[in-house]
Chain A
Amino acid sequence: MLIGRDLSGEGRAALGEYLLLLGDDELVLGHRDSEWCAFAPLIEEDIAFASIAQDEISHAALFYELIESLRGLGRDQLAFGRPVSEMRNATILERENRDWAFTVVRHYFYDVADDLRTEQLLHSQEPILRSVAERLRREERYHLEHGQMWLRRLSQGGPEAHRRTQAAVDEVLQECRGIFHPLAWEQTLVAEGVLPQRPSLLCARFQERIAGALSDCGLKVQADGGQGDALCGRMGHHGPELTDLLETMGEVWRTDPLAAW
């Protein structure tokens, strides 16, 4: 089954951009998740986070394979061979892990965003995207449950845990909106039936769901202060944390990109 067979050239280009953004989000967060392996607060969480990381990295591989069939670039080339300015992940996902509260909150917010995004893919006119979305959603459901459980535990786990969790919410929420940054090619995807509506329009529902989850846990949404213009990862603008991540991730592969590893 071929992807994007019935799309115009412009449509295929837009689809390539969207798949890249989806793959990069999953890869970068999966990498951060994998950094917990052996250093999580509990042995049980070393194991759980290693599973979540494997899911995210496999999803990235899946999106990159779809791009491969559109553009002919290999998946490892996509993951390891691009400069930072070509990465399309949202900047919140490249942030270093900080503490467990930051990790839990960021992951949960991303999982909610991803839930909305993959739900949208279920209504794509591209059959491959529908089946990919079904597979992803089966796995992501557990990530959401895991995140909800930890958010509740931490927010109700005494003053220090509550304080750290609220601090993480304050730090993360604003930047998470960058996941839904409006992009020029979105309209093309809608016009050609790849998506039922522009993904950036999901931001309002995202904020509603987050507000509901936070108030259930006794956590607050800060009045919309905003921290100035955050970097827009979707446009290839990233911070030094992503540069470091990519340097580490590609350290061995880049010594010989043509070799088999």
Chain B
Amino acid sequence: MSEDRLVDFEARIASGALIEAGDWMPEEYRRQCLRLIVTHANSELMGALPEREWIPRAPGLHRKLSVLSKVQDEIGHAQMIYRVAEDLGRPLGITRGHMLDDLIAGKAKFHNVFSYPAPTWADVGVIAWLVDGAALETQGALLRTSYAPYARILRRICAEEAIHLKHGEDIVLTLASGTRAQREMLQGALERWWQPLLHFFGPPDDQSPNTERTFRWRIRVMTNEQLRQSFLRKYVPKIRALGLKIPDPELRQDPASGDWLYGDPDWNEFWRVVKGGGARTEERLQLRRMTREQQNWVLEAMAGPTSAA
């Protein structure tokens, strides 16, 4: 019986059909989707932290407003994506509370890129332009995922990310055409973020934990390397056009395939960060823990006077 269902399910996917929350799905499909979606939600929430540090310090009222609005969007994305995850997790007994508990306990993954410090204002521009640019590659590809509720929410998220890209590009352009100190600050930020950007798309395909089934079920539709190449094709020329120097002497384009060949971006560092050893991983999780502890009385008050004693 369940064999028949599985055959039927795979036939639907192969025909291009989309899976809705209430449809039958193999438990492994549910778990894989859930892992992907929760990691995305966690990343939006944790991703707000490095840029958030710059809201109080943004130079100019216009910048203050635009960083604030961007961080607000990221947190809004987290909220929407957790809702999609909750629907998926319900049959497994997994709630948003569990997801947030796992996150702050350091048991859940969030994107490596949000484990790095953002020490200058130029980092805010580079994050919004290039990290959001990288995210848009990944999320743009996921618009074709087979899990329909996720694809729907991604359409809205991608539209907002495109605005963030413009915000980031505007900061970067302003600095690139600014004073010498501003240009140096920008170059420094690019040097800090280049390796994390290559890491962003995950390890080379032969080391990726994504199984053949992930693609057959169309949970994901593009491999890590395909996404990385798509990013490099778009952004390497743009970065160079600004007069910035990409910190990779081996970077060159293969004239035949158009693929970019790049120096080894230290995959050991990548795996170290995946396992929770990023420069700011613990500090940022600690911030979330502290927030939870300090604000817990508010949640209790909202639960009502009887349970708040």
Residues of A at the B interface (CB closer than 8 Å) are: 31, 34-35, 37-44, 46-47, 50-51, 53-54, 57-58, 60-61, 64, 75-76, 79-80, 99-100, 153-154, 156-161, 164, 248-249, 251-253, 255-256, 259-261
Contact = CB atoms under 8 A, between A and B. Distances in A.
B210 interface: no
A37 B306 CA distance: 30
A189 B201 CA distance: 61
Contacts of A157: 298, 300-302, 304-305, 308
18 contacts: A35-B56, A39-B287, A41-B291, A41-B295, A46-B48, A47-B76, A54-B65, A57-B65, A75-B61, A99-B294, A100-B298, A153-B302, A158-B305, A160-B301, A252-B58, A252-B121, A253-B60, A261-B59
B236 interface: no
A57 to B, nearest CB: 6
Contacts of A161: 297-298, 300-301, 308
B198 interface: no
Contact of A57 (B61, B294, B296): B61
Contacts of A58: 65
A13 B182 CA distance: 37
B241 interface: no
The B contact surface, by secondary structure, is helix
Contact of B181 (A50, A51, A251, A255): A255
The 9 closest A-B pairs by CB, nearest first: A157-B301, A158-B308, A161-B301, A41-B295, A50-B72, A253-B59, A41-B298, A261-B59, A252-B59
B291 to A, nearest CB: 5
B30 interface: no
Contacts of A38: 48-49, 52, 71, 75
Contacts of A31: 56
Contact of B61 (A42, A46, A60, A99): A60
A53 B61 contact: no
Contacts, number: 131
Contacts of A158: 300-301, 304-309
Contact of A156 (B65, B295, B305): B305
Size bracket of the B interface: 35 or more
B308 A159 contact: yes
A154 B301 contact: yes
Contacts of B68: 34, 37, 50, 53-54, 57
A102 B222 CA distance: 49
B144 to A, nearest CB: 28
B240 interface: no
Nearest to B297: A160
Contacts of A43: 45, 75, 78-79, 82
Contacts of B59: 76, 80, 252-253, 261
Given A47-B75, A57-B68, A164 B178 contact: no
A57 B309 CA distance: 38
B61 A79 contact: yes
A99 B299 CA distance: 13
Interface centre among B59, B121, B297, B309, by most chain A C-beta atoms within 10 angstroms, is B59
B253 interface: no
B299 A41 contact: yes
A238 to B, nearest CB: 17
B69 interface: yes
Contacts of B60: 76, 80, 253, 261
Contacts of A253: 59-60
A40 B305 contact: no
Nearest to B299: A41
A115 B264 CA distance: 60
Interface string B166-191: 00000000100011011000000000
A82 to B, nearest CB: 14
A246 to B, nearest CB: 11
Contact of A34 (B56, B179, B181, B300): B56
B162 interface: no
Contact of A42 (B55, B299, B305): B299
Nearest to B300: A158
B242 to A, nearest CB: 15
B64 A57 contact: yes
A2 B69 CA distance: 31
